[in-house]
A = this chain, B = another copy of it.
Amino acid sequence: MSDAAVQTQIRGPVRAKGQETAARVREAALKRFAAAGYAAVSMREIAADVGVRPGALYNHFPTKQDILKDLMLSHMAELHAAWVDSGEPAAMDPLEHFVRFHIRYHLERADEVFISYMELRNLEPANFDLVEAERRRYEAVLAGILEDGTAAGRYAVQDAMVTTRAIIAMLTGIPAWFRDGGRLSRPDIEELYLDLVRKAVAPETGSPGTGTRSREQSPREIG
């Protein structure tokens, strides 16, 4: 591990070439998996895209499964890292911040997103657990926003976890139908969905201000 890291620095173009090939394998696999599905893509097809013989792929990834695992795990990690990097401007409502971030990221990385929830069942159990853990970590971000906002009276959410999954499913569905150049622009989408989400979690009384309302009602108290 540290040997490889050191060599990466002291070695020259040879190491660089290998890493570039690995990157192109990831790129080709990403597009193929997104278009046809993991099980329907052969190592031969990936190798042909990269411009290399099938056997050469095994210099960079031990198995086909490891390519999928690499794609999905790095996507989930980058998604969470991108959220952390996106900061949290005090001026903007945290929910608005999250919705805008999620929509933008998922429209930019449509292939990665698509794979990461379509190919879950093609992951070996150990790899599945790793990806699931990352997914829960991301869901916890939104759940935390909803819980804090509800405690502060800004939102009124009955069940933070269910609402989290509802919102994420809603937003993640966008890339399935949205296409650039259509009737609506990306900013249009952002505003439309933001409006839906904001209203869905708004306190019942229509006073649009962020008035702190007491939580009078607990008719459900599920759990």
Residues of A within 8 A of B (CB): 35-37, 39-40, 118, 121-122, 158-159, 162-163, 165-170, 172-173, 176-177, 183-184, 188-189, 191-193, 195-197, 199-202, 204-208, 210, 220, 222-223
Contact for A159 among B40, B192, B200, CB less than 8 A: B192
The answer on a CB contact under 8 Å between A188 and B220 is: yes
Contact for A196 among B39, B163, B195, CB less than 8 A: B163
The answer on a CB contact under 8 Å between B204 and A158 is: no
The distance from the CB of A102 to the nearest CB of chain B, in whole angstroms, is 13
Considering residues A36, A163, A169, A197, which has the most beta carbons from chain B within 10 angstroms of its beta carbon? A169
Contact for A206 among B166, B189, B191, B205, CB less than 8 A: B205
The answer on a CB contact under 8 Å between B162 and A192 is: yes
Contact for A165 among B177, B183, B210, CB less than 8 A: B177
Given contacts A36-B121, A159-B184, A199-B199, contact A193 B166 (CB under 8 A): yes
Q: Is the interface of A mostly helix, strand, loop or mixed?
A: helix
Contacts of A183 in B (CB 8 A): 222-223
The distance from the CB of A19 to the nearest CB of chain B, in whole angstroms, is 31
A sample of 7 cross-chain residue pairs with beta-carbon separation below 8 angstroms, ordered by A number, consists of: A36-B121, A37-B121, A166-B173, A170-B173, A183-B222, A183-B223, A196-B201
Contacts of A188 in B (CB 8 A): 220, 222
The distance from the CB of A223 to the nearest CB of chain B, in whole angstroms, is 5
Contacts of A199 in B (CB 8 A): 199-202, 204
The answer on a CB contact under 8 Å between B165 and A173 is: yes
Contacts of A210 in B (CB 8 A): 204
Write the chain B residue with the least CB distance to A176. Answer: B169
